[in-house]
Structure formats: C-alpha cells, structure tokens
Structure 1
Amino acid sequence: MNKVKVLLIDDDEDDYIITKDIFSHGNIANKYELSWIDNFDKGINSVLKRQHDVYLVDYRLGKYTGVDLVNEAVLSGIREPIIILTGKGDYQIDEEAMNVGAADYLVKDKIDPDTLDRSLRYALKQAETLKALKESENKFKIIFEKAKEPILISDYTGKIHDINKAGLDFFGYHIKEMLATNDRSLFYTQEDRDNFVQELETKGAVSDFECQMVSSKGQVYFCSLSSFLQIDLQNMVEVYHTIIHDLTYRKHQETKFIHESKFSISEHIAKGFAEEIRNPLSTINLVLHELTTDEALVYNENLQTNLEVIKSNFDNINQLTRNFISSTENKPIIIQKTNIRALVEEALIEISDLVLGQRIVLEKHLLPADLHLSIDKKQIKKALVNILTNAIEGMESYPKILNVSTMNDSGFYSILVEDNGKGISPGLEHQIFEPFFTTKKDTDGLGLTEAERSVLAHNGSIIFKPLEQGSLFIIQLPIN
C-alpha cells in the first residue's frame, strides 16, 4: 500500500524532530511519509503544487500565520486537507482556523500517535467526501446551465434562489431581476401557484403539473411543471427544483386541430344548409317578383307594403346565408411581405369613423420596429377590423376606452385589443368564436368566427380573456 505523503510546515526544527518521532511509533509508522519545510513561502509553494496528500501547519510562521496559509490555499482551489497545529489554550485560533477552511486543529502538547493518526484519517476522509460532493455539484451545475429547458430553484415563500440561462431567456429577465422577483409573479394565476405548492408540499414531488406562466413582457405560456423538494445544506432551507416544459406549441396545435375540425363540420353544414335553403329562397324570390309586377296588384298599396317587408326579410336571409357560407369557406391565402405596424394602422383608420362617432378614447402602444410578416394582408386586416369592431360594439357606458398594443415575443407578433365594455357572462367564453353566437343587437355573430379562421390559417391563434371590466383579444401571428 502506498504511504500517505504528509508535509509539516513549521519554522521550529525542534518541533519537526518531535513530530518525526511521533510518526515513527505505533500504527502510523508504516502508513505515512513525513516531509518538512521550515518557512511560509516554501510551504505555500509546495501546497499550491499539490505535492503532498495532507499538510500539518504550525500557526506561527514568522510574520505570517498558518491561518494565512490555509486562507490562501482555499482561495486558490486547493482541496487537500490542512491541519493547524496550535499551542495550548489557543482556542480562538482554533476557531479561526476552522472558519477559513482548515480540516482540523491539534494542540501540540497533546499530540500522540493515535490522536495524530485519527486526525489524519478523518481529514483525508473528509477531503475525499468533499471532493466527491464537489464533482457531483459541478456535474449538476453543468446540466443546470446547459439544459435547454428552464430550471427554477425557489422555496415555499416564493424566493428564487437560482435559475438557469434557459429560464432567463424563457421569462425574459436578467439574473439580478429574477433573483429580486417572487416566483408568484411567474404564474399567470395565484390559484395555479397555490395548487402547485400544495401538491408539492403534500407529496414531495410533482410530475406534469399543467398551468399557465407569464414572462416579464406579459407573454402567457402553457407549461407542464416537474418538481421535487430538497434541503439546501448550505443555507439549510427546503427548496423546490422545478423543470418547466413549454407546452405552448403543442397546445396551439391541439387547439388548431379542434378548431379545424369544427370549421370542417361547419363548412359541411353550411354547404348542406345552402343547398336546402337556396331552392325555397329562389321560389320565394320568383313569386315576389311576379306579385310586385302583376298589373292587377300594382296599385294595392297595402299589399305592396307587405311585399316590401317580405322582400327586405328575404334579402336579410339571403345575405345571412352568404355570410355564413363565406365564414366557413377555406379561402386561399395570398402570402406577401407586409409591414405589420402599417397594417395595424390601416385597420385603425378603417374604424376611425366608429371611434369618432362613439367618442371612444383610443390608446395606442405599437412597437416601433419595422417588422415584416409573410401574411395575407387582406385577410389579417379584415380579421383585425372584425376584432376592433367587436370591441367597440361591446362598450356601452362612458368613458369608452379602446387600447391597442403590440408585442414581439417567443417567435410571435401579438396584437392586443382591450376594451372596457360590458364583457361577457361567465361560462360563455368557450362560445365566443362559435358561428351566430353574439350578445349584441343587430349583429350576425360571424365576425369573430371569420377572424379566427383567417388567423388559424396563418398558423397563428386568437386568445380571448375576460377582464374584470371588458375583454381582451390577443392575435398571435408567427414571425417566421
């Protein structure tokens, strides 16, 4: 078995002779190989070169101390154990030595072979354990930093202890901002955060907890959280290690599939409806024409008035049928590079008469960037006009405020339309894009249906959020 190399750093030769004598007796005689250096400079040089397995360092080394040597060695990343040798009664020195990183301390007058052997074995074992922990910590740190998915370390109070680069990019924070943020602000609703913490505290681990999270810019993500509890030994607190899986794209695809299926059914119904209603409508129209042109009936004012009422209702039904069919048709998309800010401005100009006529306060917060999207300009503009018109029609009492803003985040260009109108009754949110669904008078309930269809055809999405007062619509269009 190879002997453990021990270096004594002591400027007193008599102490070296005494120490050498101790190493020559008992069980330690064949286990250790002792060397000696008599000054601080040579000693720290040898320590930094890692020429020995363990070091015995006298506290008094000329103008320096053993604590100075330990401190310099620890700051230089030395992991080999260092044991301080002190005089009798130097308890304050002992405590100081342990605080800066010494593995142990021994009182010179009380050193014997067994005591020295035990101290050396414990110091070496401790160094081996610390080395393994450090290697494990480094591996975790590498995984933590290089992981492509956000990893968040927080606690019950919401304090954030650490987050990896992927997490900072995901939420849009700098590290100092994130560490000063409570993790409650990362959850879109307080209810989600409370349920997450309750499940984690009860079970000790959580898998696939679905919730919504929000970035610093207000971008909402659909996420799945996997988390477990662990004790932070350094700070002695219980922390949550949480991996955040972004399900936004998957949710978007699922929603898109559901809506495409819905549109497919609606289109099928619309075509069948058109076939069934066009024949009787044509017959009614023909009869109306004959009655209104019959010379015997032309001067019957009462009849002609009634015929006009029938004709007006006929035209309404005919137009409603055409609108319904149009809202369910797959219209071809004519892609062109379009300045999206200019498109938003054009849509606002188109509804300017409504804004002026109803004395609406229009607030705009549009991105200044000259960004171009590959879209069908006509379809997206019409979809935005439909959303804006819907918002205006939903405002009944003054002041009427319409807020239009834009956002560039996570590969999507978002157009946010917010009003302070009467909103929609709870439980009806899922019907908002259904054909003919409306809570307003004198509207056919097809504008939002057509708008959603156009946006989905561009691989985008429309999100509706009821507010305490009013509604918020978010049109998201892919930038690439």
Structure 2
Amino acid sequence: MRQVRVLLIDDDEDDYILTKEVFDQTSASYELSWVNSYEKGIYAILKKQFDVYLVDYRLGKGTGIDLLNEAINSGCEEPIIILTGKGDLVIDEQAMNIGAADYLVKDEIDSSSLDRSIRYSIKEASATKALKDSERKYRAIFEQAKDPILVSDSSGRIYDINSAGLKFLDYERSVILQLNTSAIFNNTEEGERFRELMESNGSLSGFECELISSKSEVYCCSLSSFIQTDMVNVKEVYHTIIHDLSHRKNLEERSVSLGKMSISEHIAKGLGEEIRDPLSTINLALDELAADPAIICNETIQSYLEIIKSNCDRVNQLMQNFISSTETKTLNLQRHNILTVIEEAISDVEDLIVGHNIKLTRQFHQSEQKVLLDKPKIKNALVSVIKNAAEAMQSYPKIIHITCTADKGMYEIAIEDNGMGVDPKNKEKIFEPFFTTKKRASGLGLTHAQRVLTTHNGSIKLKQLAQGSLFLIRIPIYHEGTLWF
C-alpha cells in the first residue's frame, strides 16, 4: 500500500516533533514532511507534492486561513486540515466555508482522531474531485454543443443556457437568466402545454412550438427535454435541447409555393386559351356590328358597342397579366449591389410617395457585396411591395420604413408601413392570384413578387405588427446551387 504523503506547515519546530510522535503511533502508513513558513507551504501546495496538508492557524507572515484561501483560489484539490492551539468556533466556520477538509485542535489530537480525519478528508477530496471532473466534462459538452440547451424548472425560472442557446435566442447570459421561459415561448398556450407534459411524463421528445428571440424573430422548433435533480439547488430542473426546424419549414414552404406556382401556371394558360377564343369571336362580332350600315350612324348603339369592346379588352388584358404573373421565365442573373436596386425601386414609386404625402425613411447596411439576381424582376417585385404598403395606409401620418441588413448569407429587406394591417383571416391569402381588399386593384402584385423571389431562392413573408404590416424579403447574397428556372 502506497504511503500517504503528509505535509505539516507550521513555524514551530516543537509542534512538528509532537505531531510526528502522534503519526508514529498510527497504524496507517504515512510519510510526514515539514516546512516552517507560509511561502514554502504555498509553494509545495502549488507544486502538488503531497496528498494531505496540515496547516497551523498561526504562520507568522499570514494565517492558515490566508494560506487556505490562496490555495483554494489557485485550484488546490488536495485536502487541507487547519490546526489551532485551542478551539475557536469563528475560525472553524471560516475555514470550513472557504474549503478546509477539517478543523482540529492540537491539544485534542491523538493518533486515532488524526488518522480518521486524514482518511475521511482524502476520501471526500477524491469524491469531490470526481464530481468536479464530471462537472467539467458535462460543462464542456454543454458549452460545445451545437444545439441550444436550456436548463429551467417547472415555474419557468432559467438556471443556465449554453453558448449556442444565447446565440440562437440573441440574449446576453446575464439578461436571459433574469427571465422566465414564458418570455421565449411565442405562444403562451404552448409554454403551458410544455410544462404540463413535462410534469406528467417526466420527459418529452419532438415537442413542436414557436420560440421568439430578443429581436422578435420567431423560430419553429422541436424540443426534447428530461427532468434531472439539481443537487446544488436541490430542485428538479428541465434539461431542454432545442432543435431549429425553421430551415426544414422553409424548404417545405418553398416546395408548397413551387407546387402552387406550377398549378397556377397550368391553370392560367388553360384558362387563357379558353377565354381568348370567345373574346376574339366577341370582338369580331362587335367590329361587324359597328360597321353595319343600319346602325353605323346610331350614336347610342355605337357607344354601347364601344363600352362592350373596351370591357372585352380589359378582360383580355387582365388575363394577360394573370398569365404573366404565373409564367415561369428564364432569369437573366447578374451580380448587382442590392442597395442600388432598392434605391431605383424607390425612385420608380417616387410620384406615388409624393402624391400620397408619405414619409419614407430608410436604414441600410452598407456593403459592397454583390447579389446574384435578375435586376428588372427584383426591382418590379420591390415596387409591388412598396405600392402595396402605400395603398394600405388610409390616415395620416403615412410612414413607410425600409431597412436592409445582411444576415447568415442573406440580404433581408424589411418594408414596414403604419397602415391598417392585414386581417388575420386573410394572412394566408395575400399571395394568391386576384386576392385583394383594395378597390381597382388586380390582386396580382404580391403574387408576382412572391414568384420572383422564390425563383431567386429567396422568400417574402408577412409579419403582423401592432399597427401596420411588415413584409420581410430575403435574397441570397450568393448561391452556388442551381436556381429554379
């Protein structure tokens, strides 16, 4: 059996001799060494030369408490036992609070009590070291995990969150630890349901919900959670792994959009053919009637014929617009500065902005990076969205705010108005052909804009505001993949 190396740190040689005599009476195998100063003692501790340290409270330059404090702060993991000439409850409590393994009174020490104290201290230090090692491993996994991980309890109190979670929810650690989990659930009902299922089942897997960041970004997520007892706080806590499903949802939405566009294009072309023939026949008949000698001089009939003809022309134009808005055309992709494209789109609607006395503000992220796009199509899409915002405002002051930022390989263009907003029941319909709540509007502008952005591997989404609406447009800064043509 290996000898236990013990170091006595005491400035009194007589105490060393007395302590050695006590060790000689023990049945265990100990190897006792001695240093007589604070400096030598702390040096030996920092060099990790011994298994146990016996430290006298009085050391001349400093106290045993000072040495204990310095050793603990320096990462000492070996047990330190404080020795005093006589008992002192205050010193006892102070030593134990700092991290002493035990506290012994010299006059009361015998071979049995000293042996027991050392054995228990070594065993406890070994258990503590194993616990700290386990905690360090857990902490390393916790912090290095790519998925966000949140630690909370049944009341919603947040105890911890890893770096990925802070980045995902865009919070500072000090801030989020002051919040309740209700602040990150976009829907209160989902937060309550999550807690109910955790309390009844003890664990969850694949719980889908919406989480919201500090910047009000909403993410579709899947939560996997289990309950564990926190030995520090003596409380059951939820360890929750957050899986971001936004990318998958975006792919699903894109797939649905492409499917809808394909169907719309097929219907539009078929409907166009069905309507074009009757319209041609009607127009031919109108021309024949207008040239009939019997009615050529009848101004009333001629005016009615003109009304019919103009409405036929309007139906024909409307159908052409519908076909054009659903038609898939090859993109002429070139690299352009997105800020230039936005400025040109704003310039194209300047008369509308001035005519409606609208205050248009902008906040752009300056960048020289180019975006691969079909400039005329993207500009027309932006014009459609800005016009939609302008027409949505009925009362003054009328304000449109446009921001442009770069985020995760995408340019985000936010077009915000302070109008009446979109009725929630109409939110899913606004990109459908011919859907409009405005008078004398074709209902094809947003349909066309969505189609253009989808073919650019981008997207357009509506976000409801307390007052007004915000259309968020995303365009890849550069995309190596094959675009949908």
**SS at 1:64's partner residue?**
coil
Rate the CA distance shift 1:196–1:479 in 2: closer, same or farther, 3 A: farther
Q: CA deviation at 1:411?
A: 2.5
2: distance between equivalents of 1:378 and 1:3? 85
**SS at 1:337's partner residue?**
strand
Rate the CA distance shift 1:468–1:51 in 2: closer, same or farther, 3 A: closer
CA contact (8 A) 1:341 1:371 kept: no
- After superposition, where does 1:8-407 map in structure 2 within 5 Å? 8-25=8-25, 28-153=26-151, 162-172=160-170, 186-188=184-186, 193=191, 195-196=193-194, 199-200=197-198, 203-230=201-228, 233-234=231-232, 240-407=238-405
2: distance between equivalents of 1:155 and 1:377? 52
Rate the CA distance shift 1:425–1:169 in 2: closer, same or farther, 3 A: closer
1: distance between equivalents of 2:156 and 2:340? 42
CA contact (8 A) 1:219 1:409 kept: no
Q: CA deviation at 1:476?
A: 1.1
Q: Which residue identity does 2:370 align to in structure 1?
A: H
TM-score, structure 1 as length reference: 0.90
Rate the CA distance shift 1:341–1:239 in 2: closer, same or farther, 3 A: farther
Q: CA deviation at 1:449?
A: 0.9
Rate the CA distance shift 1:385–1:291 in 2: closer, same or farther, 3 A: same
- After superposition, where does 1:462-477 map in structure 2 within 5 Å? 462-477=460-475
Farther-moved stretch of structure 1 (233-242 vs 420-429): 233-242
2:482 alignment counterpart: none
Q: CA deviation at 1:41?
A: 2.8
Write the deviation string for residues 90-132 of structure 1: whole angstroms up to 9, x where unpaired: 2221122112221111122222333222211221111111111
Rate the CA distance shift 1:390–1:128 in 2: closer, same or farther, 3 A: same
CA contact (8 A) 1:270 1:325 kept: yes
CA contact (8 A) 2:380 2:449 kept: yes
Farther-moved stretch of structure 1 (152-161 vs 3-12): 152-161
CA contact (8 A) 2:430 2:436 kept: yes
- After superposition, where does 1:443-454 map in structure 2 within 5 Å? 443-454=441-452
Q: CA deviation at 1:208?
A: 3.2
Write the deviation string for residues 348-374 of structure 1: whole angstroms up to 9, x where unpaired: 111111122222222222333344211
CA contact (8 A) 1:86 1:93 kept: no
2:431 alignment counterpart: 433
Q: CA deviation at 1:315?
A: 0.9
**SS at 1:297's partner residue?**
coil
2: distance between equivalents of 1:410 and 1:237? 39
**SS at 1:61's partner residue?**
coil
Q: CA deviation at 1:88?
A: 2.5
CA contact (8 A) 1:7 1:55 kept: yes
Rate the CA distance shift 1:411–1:243 in 2: closer, same or farther, 3 A: farther
2: distance between equivalents of 1:237 and 1:292? 90
Q: Which residue identity does 2:246 align to in structure 1?
A: T
Q: CA deviation at 1:157?
A: 7.3
1: distance between equivalents of 2:288 and 2:445? 35
1: distance between equivalents of 2:198 and 2:98? 37
% identical aligned pairs: 55
Write the deviation string for residues 365-384 of structure 1: whole angstroms up to 9, x where unpaired: 23333442111111111111
CA contact (8 A) 2:434 2:443 kept: yes
Write the deviation string for residues 20-51 of structure 1: whole angstroms up to 9, x where unpaired: 333333xx413333333333333222222222
**Aligned residues: CA RMSD:** 2.7
Rate the CA distance shift 1:361–1:185 in 2: closer, same or farther, 3 A: farther
2: distance between equivalents of 1:384 and 1:406? 12
Rate the CA distance shift 1:219–1:478 in 2: closer, same or farther, 3 A: farther
**SS at 1:432's partner residue?**
coil
CA contact (8 A) 2:28 2:115 kept: no
TM-score, structure 2 as length reference: 0.89
**SS at 1:427's partner residue?**
helix
Aligned length: 478
Q: CA deviation at 1:240?
A: 4.9
